[in-house]
Amino acid sequence: MSKVLYLSGLAAAVLLAGCQAVNTTSGGAVGVERKQYMFSMLSADEVNQMYAQSYQQTLSEASSKGVLDKTSNNAKRLQAVADRLIPQAPRFRPDAANWQWEVNLIKSPELNANCGPGGKIIFYSGIIEQLKLTDDEIAAIMGHEMAHALREHSREAMSKAYGIQVAKQGASALLGLGESGMAMADTVVQYSLTLPNSRSNENEADLIGLELAARAGYNPNAAISLWQKMEAAGGGAPPEFMSTHPSSSSRIASLQAAIPKVMPLYEQAKAGR
C-alpha cells in the first residue's frame, strides 16, 4: 500500500511541477471556478492549431465521400443555432471572440457531436434525425460541446497524460516495479488523476453549456429532455455520444438544480428577440 500511495503522490507531484494553475473561463452565473493544471510547454494556440488540421482532414474526407452536408434543412438549423451560441462564448473567455469557429454537419447514422479545441464543431445527422431534436435540444448539445472547448478540457487531459507517463516511468525506475507493478501504476494514476477530473469536466460542460444556451435564448429545460432522449436511445448498446458523455439520474438532477440560475438569462434573451 505504501508503494501505491507513493506512486499516486509522485504522479501528482510531476503533474504539478510541469504545469501551471489556470482558470480558463470566468465562472458565469453557474459558478464554474475549478482551477486547472496545464502543461506549461503546451500552449492553447498549439493545441488549437493541431486540432484545426485534424478537423480539416475530417471535413476533406467527408467531402470526398459526399457526406459533408452544407445545404440541408438540418445543416441550416445547425448554423442558425451556432450563430446565436457563438457570440455568447466571450462571456466566459474574451479571447474566444477571436477563435475561427466552424460548424459542419456530416451525414452519418452516428448519434454523436463534438466541439474540438478552438471552436471546431461537428454534428452527425443521426443524432438530429434519430432523436428528433428540437432547436433547443440542438443548442443544449452544442453548448455542452462548446463548453469543453472553452474550458480546454482536451489540453487539460493532454497535460495529465504527460504527468501520468512521466510518473509511471519515474516510479518504475525508483521502485523497481516489474510488469505487475506497472499495472498497479496504471490503476493508481487512472483513479487518482483521470477519472475524478473526467467527471468534473462533464459537470462543467453541462453547466456552462446550459448558460450558453440560455443566454442565446434557448430553453434551458431542453437539456433535461435531451438527456432523457439520449438514455432512451441506448437500448441494448448506448449511443457513441454516451460513451464519452455519460448520462445518469445524478446528471439530470444537477442540471435541474442549475436551471433556476440561468432561467432569468433565458427570459431576458427571449424578451429581447
Pick from 127, 144, 14, 4: nearest CA to 74 = 127
Whether the pLDDT of residue 151 is over 60: the answer is: yes
Pick from 53, 245, 22: nearest CA to 152 = 22
Q: Is the pTM of this model over 0.85?
A: no
**Is 6 part of any domain?**
no
DSSP labels for 235-260? TTS--HHHHHS---HHHHHHHHHHHH
Q: Which domain holds residue 229?
A: 30-270
Residue 145 annotated in active site:
yes
End-to-end Cα distance, the chain: 60
**Is 2 part of any domain?**
no
Structural domain tally of the chain? 1
Whether the pLDDT of residue 187 is over 60: the answer is: no
**Is 9 part of any domain?**
no
Whether the pLDDT of residue 7 is over 60: the answer is: no
What SS3 state is found at 93?
A: coil
**Is 112 part of any domain?**
yes
**Is 109 part of any domain?**
yes
List pLDDT tens digits, range 104-146. 999 999 999 999 999 999 999 999 999 999 999 999 999 999 9
Would you state the pLDDT for residue 4? 47
List pLDDT tens digits, range 212-263. 999 999 999 999 999 999 888 865 444 555 555 555 677 899 999 999 999 9
Rounded to 10 deg, the angle between the 44-64 and 153-175 helix axes is 110
Would you state the pLDDT for residue 13? 52
**What percent of the chain clears pLDDT 90, i.e. is strictly above it?**
56
Pick the catalytic residue from 102, 137, 145, 202: 145
- pLDDT-derived band of residue 209, with 50, 70 and 90 as boundaries? very high
Better pLDDT: 16 or 110: 110
Whether the pLDDT of residue 194 is over 60: the answer is: no
